[in-house]
Amino acid sequence: LAKTTQPISMDSYEGQEVNITCSHNNIATNDYITWYQQFPSQGPRFIIQGYKTKVTNEVASLFIPADRKSSTLSLPRVSLSDTAVYYCLVVTNTGGFKTIFGAGTRLFVKA
Amino acid sequence: GAGVSQSPRYKVAKRGQDVALRCDPISGHVSLFWYQQALGQGPEFLTYFQNEAQLDKSGLPSDRFFAERPEGSVSTLKIQRTQQEDSAVYLCASSLGGGENEFFGPGTRLTVL
């Protein structure tokens, strides 16, 4: 599975837009990109998934350039409750697989 | 609710004891995963089931770790002769199928004294 690289931590203020970029240079044709969010003492929670271009849901947007070697998770107007760890994963759907989490990005949202 | 549940939520074991951690996946979910998460780290893959078949157990750290899902629903992760380095949160996740987004349980925090 493609290895991912993302910043260790980021700081932001309430109401700002936060963009977290993830590098996945070895992504393969069948791979797609998934982001999870994890709060302390909870399991990770799915945020968004995409293959190319842009995907948007009620929580976030995911931007993937044409070469797919990176992706950017965009969180609009963050609040204190968005303080969490965000994981970028590259997942291959070949029927049998394992999901590889990195260390994630710790986002701190300040008042 | 209809989410993934795990029990117990907390387990304290003396070194050398055997422990069994239970996972109840979302009904109808074919795929089930176990992860180990050390403090401050991301979850590390342990093993993966598709129905009752254990398709990948490459992440199990030693032969003291054993997982089963005999009827394709509930799964148990067993750790024999626990060691202090086994202290971690053990997460279970399920999904509709391979490659689908995973739904995680709250985890079991294991502390080995």
Segment A32-52, tens digit of pLDDT: 899 999 999 899 999 999 999
Distance CA B38, CA B50 (A): 25
Give per-residue burial for B18-52: e unless 16+ CB within 10 Å, then b: ebebebbbbeebebbbbbbbeeeebbbbbbbbbee
CB contact under 8 A, A43 and B4: yes
| A28-to-A46, B44, B56 alpha-carbon distances in Å | 22, 21, 21
Contact B98 A95 (CB under 8 A): yes
Average pLDDT value over all residues in chain B:
94
Decide if A81 touches B, using CB distance below 8 A: no
CB contact under 8 A, B56 and A96: yes
Q: Does B25 touch chain A (CB under 8 A)?
A: no
What is the pLDDT confidence band of residue A94, given thresholds at 50, 70 and 90? low
Do B104 and A43 make contact, defined as CB atoms within 8 angstroms? yes
Of A43, A49, A100, the CB nearest to B101: A49
Q: How confident is the model at residue A101 (pLDDT cuts 50, 70, 90)?
A: confident
Task: Check CB contact under 8 Å for A103 and B59.
Answer: no
Q: What angle do CA A102, B46, B36 make, to 5 degrees?
A: 65
**Residues above pLDDT 90, as percent of chain A:** 75
Distance between CA B87 and CA A10 in Å, rounded?
28
Distance CA A31, CA A36 (A): 16
- CA dihedral over B74, B112, B103, B44, signed as positive or negative: negative
Question: pLDDT tier at A91 (50, 70, 90 boundaries)?
Answer: confident
- Measured CA to CA in angstroms, residue B3 lies from A43, A45, B50, B67, B75 at distances of 11, 11, 18, 21, 15
